[in-house]
Amino acid sequence: MEENVLRSKVFGRYDSISAFARAIRWDRKKASRIVNGQQLPTSKEIREMTIVLRISSAREFIRVFFPELMPKGENEGGDHGTAADC
């Protein structure tokens, strides 16, 4: 089963979906659906998550939101560079 990278990122920063929802100012149900992969986020929601999750590099952004675009074997671990590295 493929890892839900977004879920891992959220729980690495927040203790619960409710805490994440409060930080991003979303309804808990909406946050849960997005984090658990039951609803695709809009570009605005992705931008909001990038801010509250403190995603600062292009590589990390791709790893969290578009893991299928990462070269095989590079989807593990944390941030591996800056936007200039991509």
pLDDT at 75: 55
pTM of the model: 0.79
pLDDT at 1: 39
What span, in angstroms and rounded, lies between the C-alpha atoms of 12 and 23?
14
What span, in angstroms and rounded, lies between the C-alpha atoms of 77 and 66?
15
pLDDT at 2: 55
Query: Tokens 């893991």 identify what position?
Result: 67
Q: C-alpha distances in angstroms, 57 versus 21, 53, 54, 61, 80?
A: 23, 12, 9, 6, 8
Query: How far out from the chain centre does Cα 76 lie?
Result: 14
Tens place of pLDDT per residue across the chain (86 aa): 356 899 999 999 999 999 999 999 999 999 999 999 999 999 999 999 999 999 999 999 999 999 889 887 765 554 444 444 43
CB proximity list for 26: less than 8 A, separation 6 or greater: 48
